[in-house]
Amino acid sequence: MAVYMIVETKEVMDGEKYREYIKKVPWTIEKFGGKYLTRGGKVEIISGNWRPERLIVITFHSMRKFIAWWNSPEYKAIAPLREESAKTNAIVVQGL
C-alpha cells in the first residue's frame, strides 16, 4: 500500500543550508522508489486557519520503502542540513 509523506516547512532560518538540503535530497528519495507529487508549489487556503508557506508531498510504494529511506545512511547524512536550517512538521500516512 502506498504511503504519503507530507512536510510543512514553517520557517527557514538558514536559507543557504536549506537550499543545499533541497538540492541533495531528491536522489535519496528516488533511490528508494519515492516520487515527489508536489514540492513547494503555490498554496491556496480554502478552509480553516492552516497557513503553510511551503508544502512537500512525496509518495513511496510502501511503509517499508519509506522507513528504509528515512533510516538510510544516504538520508541520515543530509538530514542535519534540514534540521539545522528549518523548522518543519512532517507526517506519513497510508493511502489507498
Give tens-digit pLDDT for 35-74.
999 998 888 999 999 988 899 999 999 999 999 999 999 9
pLDDT of the residue at 79: 97
At 78 the pLDDT is: 97
| DSSP letters for the chain | --EEEEEEEEEES-HHHHHHHHHHHHHHHHHTT-EEEEES------SSS---SEEEEEEES-HHHHHHHHTSHHHHHHHHHHHHHEEEEEEEEE--
Q: Give the structural domain span for 29.
A: 3-94
Any idea what the CATH number is for the domain that residue 11 is in? 3.30.70.100
Domain count, the chain: 1
More confident: 17 or 41: 17
